[in-house]
Amino acid sequence: MRDVIIMAAPNGARKTKHDHPTLPVSITDTVSEAAACYAAGASALHAHVRGSEDEHLLDAGLYRELLAEMSRRVPDMLIQVTSEAVGIYTPAQQVACIESVCPRMASMSLREISSDFTRPDDARQFFEWSVEHEVHIQHIVFTAEELQHFLDYREAGVIPASQRCVLFVLGRYRVDSQSRVDDLDPFLQHDLSDLDWFVCAFGQQEQQCVLAGVDAGGHARIGFENNLYLPNGKIADSTGALVSSLVDALGERDCRAASSASAAHTLGVRNA
């Protein structure tokens, strides 16, 4: 039976309670939803924080507050801090936030940190810092071409060889951001044997897409950040409900949701 890491993404940068009344925006609500996702089988939280107007923020103080509350209420759950720019933050600001917080895990969009792949030296400095400070980085790519950039950067030493975690984002540039299972195919044309890779997918086929990734050897990120719907077409009550549904589907594939300890071991997260 294979352990599959489930990362819960319960809010993201853009959705609010206007999109779904239970979508967590405050730190208190985010931690409560993280606890529910952990109980359902998620071993990691993809964490965003918001401002007083529910706007996306990269705020080191708020991240520290979230991490402290998670440590108190869901101490065993892995926490990945986002550095998403959302068209607001510069690469320097993204880097400054992560370096200030120095979390155990962070995500970084390759196209954002390297300014559309034109400034690899800036990226190299940050990635070397993250290795030195034992910050696990998940590299986010939106296309197979970006995955090739990631592989080229690793070969050239811009990205250290020890950084092997990648998230494939499906459906972001489709009409209405509705992913399809075959959106995964271009990524699978690459040699992924040396990588820890995850799939997330926009739209109502989220679970079908991440299960296709599981079937090919990957892991899953799911949640209201990308999708509000269960596979049966009904709106889910929460991200925890999406996690529960995925755990049931994994059981039909002779897979199981990885524990946080198993996930930390697989990903090489230090001091987890």
Tens of pLDDT, residues 208-242: 999 999 999 999 999 999 999 999 999 999 999 99
Of 74, 16, 90, the residue nearest 50 (C-alpha) = 16
How many Cβ atoms are within 10 Å of 272's Cβ, its own excluded? 18
Given the structure tokens 């999708």, which residue do they identify? 227
Q: What's residue 23's pLDDT?
A: 97
Distance separating alpha carbons of residues 22 and 239, to the nearest angstrom:
9
CA angle 112, 117, 122 (to 5 degrees): 70
Secondary structure E strands in 115-222: 136-141, 165-170, 196-201, 219-222
Confidence of residue 122 (pLDDT cuts 50, 70, 90): confident
- The larger pLDDT score, comparing residue 211 to residue 174, is at 211
Token code pair at residue 199: 């799939």
pLDDT score, position 118: 53
Is-contact 41 243, C-beta < 8 A? yes
Rounded mean pLDDT of 236-254? 97
User: What is the average pLDDT value for the chain, to the nearest integer?
Assistant: 95
Task: Kindly list the distances between the CA atom of residue 189 and the CA atoms of 143, 147, 163, 183, 218, in Å, as whole numbers in the listed order.
Answer: 12, 10, 20, 12, 14
Residue 115 has pLDDT above 80, yes or no: no
Q: How confident is the model at residue 116 (pLDDT cuts 50, 70, 90)?
A: low
Long-range CB pairs of 26-31, under 8 A, 24+ apart, other chains included: 26/50, 27/62, 27/65, 27/66, 27/69, 28/69, 30/66, 31/66, 31/69, 31/70, 31/73, 31/74
How is domain 2-267 classified at the CATH fold level? TIM Barrel (3.20.20)
pTM of the model: 0.96
Q: Say whether pLDDT at 163 is over 70.
A: yes
Is residue 204 within 8 Å of residue 178, measured between CB atoms?
Answer: yes
Percentage, residues of the chain above pLDDT 90: 90
Separate counts of helices (H) and strands (E) for the chain: 10, 12
Both tokens of 24, joined, read: 């967590």
Write down the residue that tokens 């940068």 correspond to. Answer: 13
Higher per-residue pLDDT: 173 or 187: 187
Confidence of residue 101 (pLDDT cuts 50, 70, 90): very high
**What per-residue confidence (pLDDT) applies to 123?**
85
DSSP summary character for residue 168: E
120 confidence band (pLDDT: 50, 70, 90): confident
Has residue 271 got a pLDDT over 90?
Answer: no
| 176 confidence band (pLDDT: 50, 70, 90) | confident
User: Is residue 265 a contact partner of residue 3, using CB atoms and an 8 Å limit?
Assistant: no
Average pLDDT over residues 160-180: 90
| Model pLDDT, residue 214 | 98
pLDDT (tens digit per residue) in 50-88: 999 999 999 999 999 999 999 999 999 999 999 999 999
Q: How far apart (Å, rounded) are the C-alpha atoms in residues 200 and 24?
A: 19
Structure tokens at 21: 């009344």
* Domain coordinates in residue numbering, the chain: 2-267
